[in-house]
Amino acid sequence: MEQTENSGRERILHRIRAALSGGPAHPVRESDAEIFAQIPDPLERFQSECATNHTECILTANATATAKVVGEILGPISGEIFLQDASELRQAATSFPTGLNLRWSSEGSPVEETQATVTLAEALIALTGSIFVSSACGGRSATVAAPLHIVVAHLAQLVPDLQTLFAAMGRDTALLKNSMLCLTTGSSRTADIEKILVLGAHGPKRLVVVLQRDQP
């Protein structure tokens, strides 16, 4: 698009600076106290948080077991299954049941009819039982577009909390170059009707994390 016309920009900045020229508001007293408790066993915490937020967490020993678990979940699905085009998932797909309707992220993005998506994650957060995904995980919509989302992750990706993850990301890592990042905690939900929890509002009704103990 052409350069944004911004005639108001200087006037707004001028007003902000004039407003602040009288000095800052009375400073606030910050507390150094711990906000969240230490997490002694991240895996145990991750699993219990998943149970609370309705994420299915399945622990596997290795790639073979992971492929088997993912294949079993996908088995009954007749519609399109969209997968992140990653060597690890390509490898897993070789042992999926035959007849599945697979499409890879190198061939486009998910469509309205896509029934399931399978992606990797950037990290897992123990404190809240969350997955951290990016636009590199099969695109911006792959992690939210279908009724079922399966995430293949590794124990080494598990961090205790968000603070640890952000600190590790630093400012210039590859992760920050993605146009989208998302902390996802459980499947899509709403409580807009009488505060009653209903899963599967617009995004996945079912979120499955297949957590593999060894490295890919």
Partner 1 sequence: MTNAASEFLRSAAAKSGDLRHRQILRTSVDTYNTAVARGKTRFVDWEAARRRAQAIKWEAVNHLDNYLLQFEARVKERDGHVFWAENGEQARKYILDLATARGVRTIVKSKSMVAEEIHLTTALEQLGIRVWETDLGEFIVQLRNEPPYHIVTPAMHLTRSDIAQLFKEKLGGVNTDDPEKLVAAARAALRRAFFSAEMGISGVNFLVADAGMIAITTNEGNGRLGSSLPKIHVALTGIEKVVPRLEDLAVLWPMLATAGTGQAVTCYNTLVGGPRGKDEVDGPEEFHVVLLDNGRSELLADVEQRDVLHCIRCGACLNVCPVYRSVGGHAYGTTYQGPIGSVLTPHLRGLHDFQHLSYASSLCGACTGVCPVRIDLHHHLLHNRRNAVKAGERAWGERFGFRAFRWTMLHPTWFAALGWAGRLALRTVNALGLGGTKLDPLRPWTKERAAPAIPARSFRSLWKERCGTN
The one segment of 65-73, 93-101, 151-159, 166-174 that binds partner 1 by CB under 8 A: 166-174
Assess 31 for contact with partner 1 (CB under 8 A): yes
Bridge partners (DSSP) listed for residue 109: none
Bridge partners (DSSP) listed for residue 133: 182
| Nearer of residues 20 and 156 to partner 1, judged by Cβ | 20
User: How far apart, in whole angstroms, are the C-alpha atoms of residue 162 and residue 90?
Assistant: 30
Residues in CB range of 168: below 8 A, 6 or more apart: 159
100 residue type, one letter: L
Q: How many CA atoms lie within 13 A of 165 on its CB side?
A: 23
| Nearer of residues 21 and 78 to partner 1, judged by Cβ | 21
Assess 192 for contact with partner 1 (CB under 8 A): yes
Assess 190 for contact with partner 1 (CB under 8 A): yes
Q: According to CB under 8 A, which one of 116, 189, 206, 210 is a site residue for partner 1?
A: 189
User: How far apart, in whole angstroms, are the C-alpha atoms of residue 207 and residue 63?
Assistant: 20
Assess 172 for contact with partner 1 (CB under 8 A): no
Q: According to CB under 8 A, which one of 44, 156, 201, 215 is a site residue for partner 1?
A: 201
User: How far apart, in whole angstroms, are the C-alpha atoms of residue 208 and residue 59?
Assistant: 11
Residue found by looking up tokens 């995430």 in the block: 151
- Are 121 and 156 in contact by the 8 Å Cβ rule? The answer is no
Q: CA end-to-end span of the chain, whole Å?
A: 42
Assess 184 for contact with partner 1 (CB under 8 A): yes
Tell me the closest approach of the beta carbon of residue 78 to partner 1, in angstroms.
18
Assess 22 for contact with partner 1 (CB under 8 A): yes
Burial of 77 (0-12, 13-18, 19+ CB in 10 A): middle
Tell me the closest approach of the beta carbon of residue 131 to partner 1, in angstroms.
11
Tell me the closest approach of the beta carbon of residue 57 to partner 1, in angstroms.
16
Q: According to CB under 8 A, which one of 69, 148, 186, 209 is a site residue for partner 1?
A: 186
Assess 36 for contact with partner 1 (CB under 8 A): yes
List the interface residues with partner 1, window 102-141 (CB under 8 A): 105-106, 108-112, 128, 130, 135-136, 138-141
